[in-house]
Structure 1
Amino acid sequence: MYLNLKSPLAFFDLETTGTNISHDRIVEISIVKAMPDGTKDIKTMKLNPEMPIPEEVSLIHGIRDEDVKDAPTFKQVAKELAKFLEGADLAGYNIVKFDVPVLVEEFLRADIDFDLSNRKLVDAQKIFFMMEKRTLSAAYKFYCDKTLDGAHSAEADTLATFDVLNAQLERYEGMEVEDLLGKKIGVLENDMDKIHALTNKKMVDLAGRIVFNNKGEEVFNFGKHRGKLVSDVLKKEPGYYDWMMRGDFPLDTKRKLTQIKLRDFNKK
């Protein structure tokens, strides 16, 4: 079926140097502009972000510094992209929280006021989450084909979760599991140790402020040191540890940070 369009609808996706909207830059952009007459116009280009691409990010999207060293910068193609998107509404998956803000930041750096006030934003992820509920009641209905009576009472929710896990293992045992980026991370087995490893693989602390990178090393997952090795930051900037210990961070995060610091100190 054709989309019912009054204006062009530009589906787009970005690959970037990271997930910090104000700091990170675009390394690849792909736009599929759907026209009201049913035709499509596609534009895809790699971009030089004018900053190093962290290795842990390259492992996700496969783009490294050498792949973009001769590519144009965003500023060099900004007018071309703005012209291509002129009069078009914007669409994509999870674009409202990330892709749109990053794109607007890049246009502003290039001194182009990319106005959103007259554009519609269509986010397929929001439709997915609205139509396919992620509540316990929805999971109970989906996996067990039962209606959860007494939802939000502790005992009913607990018994329903017990039934859901049993049904999940019955349905998925032996199947490969992928993370949100489509990377295979293991096989689902009826083994709680292995389920724990699959579902908690990257987190170091419970708040997710420190995570494991693809090499199994602890890296910060927030702020100015996002993606950097915790041990390197603590070595080069000792005051960062004191700042975190004084800050409004969970006690578990502070405990894990202290464990890493003591471990590295004892290695000396």
Structure 2
Amino acid sequence: MTDNRAAAPGWHLGPLVGFDIETTGINLEQDRVVTAAIIETAADGSQRTRRTWLVNPGVEIPPEAVAIHGISTELAVADGIPAPVAVAEITDLLEQVLQSGTPLVIMNAPFDLTILDRECRRYGVVPLSERLDTVAPVIDPLILDRHIDRYRRGKRTLEALCAHYGVPYDGSHEASADAVAAAAVARGIGHAAAHVAALSPRELHELQVTAAAQQAESLAAFLRRKGLSPERVTRAWPLVPVPGTQPKLI
């Protein structure tokens, strides 16, 4: 018997929601959100919905962070919304996205999601990990690109991936631009790797859990060969658990 139902389009041909934050620094346990963007894009790159935040993080923004994203402490205090309000709004919207099943695209997901998780705990906001059975489906272009093209030389920054997959990018480190670019890179990976595009969003999420663990183990082995400690390397993806609740990388 012939099944005449049309095959569902690949995830890269449907809506994707890009998420990005800019922060006061790179310490997952201490640094704060300064700007954030959640933007839904269609397959043609058009923006369907867009939400952005300028946040008063409640702490000084270091000069080295200002040099990257351009948001000074003075600007954040004058025009930003209080961090507890912003963190709650961002988390509420991400929960809605994930519950809808629309893939959430985040370049280097453990950074953004972990910073947000710690901000939630800092301000008494229920974090995503306690709202959902699984923080999924997430698409991380960094993990996927390493998975499909492991031995390619060169950087794997967002700017480098945009160049590799033919995505326009101005390198501004602005949250909305980075969110849109990450979604476009994810689509580029889908077009480049048919076996990845054929997976459902949930299957793709599980593939990345495994791939991230394998990549972490490879990095740990490399560090050991160099006589360096792999202590800070973690298998966790897309969110780093609170310290003391995750197994060490062996």
Q: What's the TM-score, normalizing by structure 1?
A: 0.45
More RCO (CA 8 Å, sep 6+):
2
Normalised to the residue count of structure 2, the TM-score between the two structures is 0.48
